[in-house]
Amino acid sequence: MKLVSQGAQYAISAIIAISKHPNDVISASELSKQLSCPSAYLSQILAKLKSPGILKSQRGLNGGVYLAKSLEQVSVYDVIVAIDGDEFFSTCFMGIEGCGRIEPCPFHNFWSVHREEIKIWLQNTSFSDTEKVMSQAWFDERLSFTSGAL
């Protein structure tokens, strides 16, 4: 079971990749090569990150996207919700309609507490935090976005 969709995974990876080049405008095409994902799909994902103010875009020949906020101001939760919505944090673990206090599924009491803990943890985890715990070797191995690649 995955916590986030493929789209949210791409969005998280894109934020990490963009953060490695804080003064650059990066095209969706270039990002898609680095993240090994379809460019059209990534463009749709990046567009979803503009509305909540995570990314800004620049049109034109040298157009692309860049971070609208500092890494400290963007939580992992912000990105997940921008792409997937917050349904994961408000629905039944089993996907049972009407699950709640009156007619709980077998996992309701456990899940309602722990999904809130996961939500709070994701809200309190900024991309600055993630960068602190991941080595440069980790980034280099998973993202072919290295200095001078642009």
Task: State the average pLDDT over residues 50-78.
Answer: 92
Question: Is 148 part of any domain?
Answer: no
Structural domains in the chain (count): 1
| Rounded Cα–Cα distance for residues 50 and 45 (Å) | 9
Say if residues 89 and 136 touch (Cβ distance below 8 Å). no
| Rounded Cα–Cα distance for residues 136 and 25 (Å) | 21
Question: Is 52 part of any domain?
Answer: yes
Question: Is 1 part of any domain?
Answer: no
Task: State the average pLDDT over residues 26-38.
Answer: 89
Say if residues 77 and 123 touch (Cβ distance below 8 Å). yes
User: What range does the domain containing 83 cover?
Assistant: 6-142
Question: Is 17 part of any domain?
Answer: yes
Euclidean distance between the first and final Cα of the chain, in Å?
Answer: 35
pLDDT at residue number 145: 46
Q: pLDDT tens across 107-136, in order?
A: 999 999 999 999 999 999 999 888 776 666
| Rounded Cα–Cα distance for residues 48 and 81 (Å) | 10
CATH number at residue 116: 1.10.10.10
Question: Is 149 part of any domain?
Answer: no
| Rounded Cα–Cα distance for residues 35 and 114 (Å) | 31
Q: Which residue has the higher pLDDT, 147 or 62?
A: 62
pLDDT at residue number 150: 41
The partner residues of 65 in beta bridges, in order of sequence, read 26, 57
pLDDT at 31 over 80: yes
The pTM (predicted TM-score) of the whole model is 0.83
Task: State the average pLDDT over residues 56-62.
Answer: 87
Question: Is 150 part of any domain?
Answer: no
Most distant pair of Cα atoms in the chain: their distance = 58
pLDDT at residue number 4: 83
Say if residues 34 and 76 touch (Cβ distance below 8 Å). no
Question: Is 125 part of any domain?
Answer: yes
Task: State the average pLDDT over residues 28-57.
Answer: 92
| Rounded Cα–Cα distance for residues 53 and 68 (Å) | 6
Question: Is 11 part of any domain?
Answer: yes
